[in-house]
Structure 1
Amino acid sequence: MERPVAVKTVAADLLALPDWRRTALARFEREAKAAARLDHANITAVYDAAITEDVCCLVMQLVDGTTLDNVIDCADDGRLSVLAAVSVAAQLSSGLSAAHAAGLVHRDLKPQNIMVDTSGLVKILDFCLVKVLSDTDPQLTITGETLGNVAYASPALLGGEKSLDGRSDLYAVGCLLHHMLTGRPPFHGEGPAELVTQHLTAPPPRLTDCGVDVPAGVQDLAHALLAKRPEDRPGSAADVYEALAPYLPAPAPAFATRRMPPEDPQRPFLVPHGPVMPR
C-alpha cells in the first residue's frame, strides 16, 4: 500500500533457544491478536502480523515524533511544566482505559515506550509484555523472568504476583508523572535490588518535598497512584483522567492557524482536532 510502517520482530537469538522458542512464539501471537483489538488514538495501531517458522514480525503504525524521555531531556531543567505533564498523563490514562477495557495490562510503561508525535499526540508503544487478564495458561509465564522496567514497575509486578490488573499500569503512570514533574523517577538506588526494595517498602516522595509547586489535586493524585496496595490507588484509568481533567490546558482555537513546536504534548488540548500545520 506504499504506507510507511514500523516492523517489530522477535529476536533471532531468542528463537534459537529451544526452551524459549515455543513460549516466545506463543507470547508473540498473543501480542499480535491482543494489540490488533485495540483502536484508540493514544495507542499505536497494529496492521498485520506474520508468524511462521522463518518470520515472526508485527507490522505497526509508524509514529512520526520522539519518545517521552527525549521530550523530558529537552525540557528546562529536565522537567515538564504542570500543564504538559498533566496533558501527557491524561492521554496515557485515556489510552490505558481502552486497553484495560479490552482486558489488557501493558506492564512495561516507561518513557522509552511512549512517543509524542509531531502533533503533540501521545502514543503508547510496545504491548509485547501485555497481560491478557482472562489468560490462565501457566506455560506463558517464565520462572524468574523480569517484566517491565524496574524504575516504573508496580510492587505487585516486582513481587511476582500473577494476577495483575490495570492498577499496576496506574502505578507506572504515577512514576511517570513524578518523573515528568521532578526530572527523575520517584525511587532511585545504587542498583536494581535497592530500587526494587524501595518500590516494595519505601513511602513514595511527595512532589512538594522535591521542590515542585503543583496544585493540591495533582499532588494528591500523584501520591495516590504510588500507593503500595492496588486498592489504595484510583480504581481505573478513567478515574485518573477525571482527576486530571480540571488541570488540563483550556482549548485555544486561536492556535489552530499558528505553527506550534513539534513534540508538544499540550497541543491536542490547546487545539482539539486542529489542522496539521505545514513544516
Structure 2
Amino acid sequence: MKTTVKALALAASMLLSLSACNANATPSSNEQVKKAFSSRFPTREVLSVSETPVKGVYEVVVKGKQIVYTDAEAKYLFVGDLIDTEAKSSLTEKKMAELNRVNFNKLPFQYAIKEVRGNGARKLAVFTDPDCPYCKQLERESLPDITNVTIYTFLYPLAQLHPDAPHKARQIWCSKDRLATWTAFMRDGKELTGTDKCDTSALDKIEAMGDELGITGTPGLIFGNGRLVPGAIAKDDIEKLLDAK
C-alpha cells in the first residue's frame, strides 16, 4: 500500500507547530489533555483522548481518524505504532481497526461500478485509483479468481500522486459500459480512448465520502462486516475477510 500526502501531512504540520506557542487517567485528566493539545494545535479537531498502558502517555484521535500520542501537557508528541511487546500486538493498529469500521450497507452503491460473480453473496467495496500500481496489482493478482462475491468499485483518484488519474476516472465513468471499460483498462492494460464529458458529480461525492471515512491511500478495501483494510492484500487474505463475521 502507498502512504499518501494526506497521511504524512498530519505528522508534519504538528511537528512544525511544536515550535509555537498522571498514571490513572480520569475524565477530568483526559479533558485537561484535550485542552492542552487543542491549545498547541488549534487547527486539529480532537475527537477523543484516552489513557494508554504507558504511564503518562495519552492517545489522541484527531479528525481524519489519525492517532497521535502525547504527554499530559501536549509538550511532547510522537506518531507511530504503540506496541504491546508481551501480547506481540499493535495497540495503534487495534484502535485504527475500531475507528475504521464502516457501516457497509450505508455506502452509496449508486456511485459504484458493480460486478457480481457467482451468487454474489459476499460483499466487497474497493476505493481505487486508475493510475495506482497497487490497485492494478490487486485487480490482476488478488481479485481474478475470487467468486461468489459482489464487488463495488469506487473511483477514487489521488490527484496529488497521479495528476492524470482524475481524467482517467472521468473517462471510465463516462463510458457506456463502465465495468467492461474498467476491467479492460485495469486487468488487461487496454488504453482509455473515450470522452470524459458527462455528469461526473458522483466522483466528487466519492471523494468526499473517502475523506470522511479516512481513506488516505489506495486501494482501500471495505468488507461486508465493515472492516476497512488498506493495500493490495493477497487473495487468501481477501477470502478470509470476505468470510469473517
TM over 0.5: no
Q: Tell me the TM-score range normalised by the shorter chain.
A: under 0.3
Higher helix share: 1
Q: TM-score, normalised by structure 2?
A: 0.26
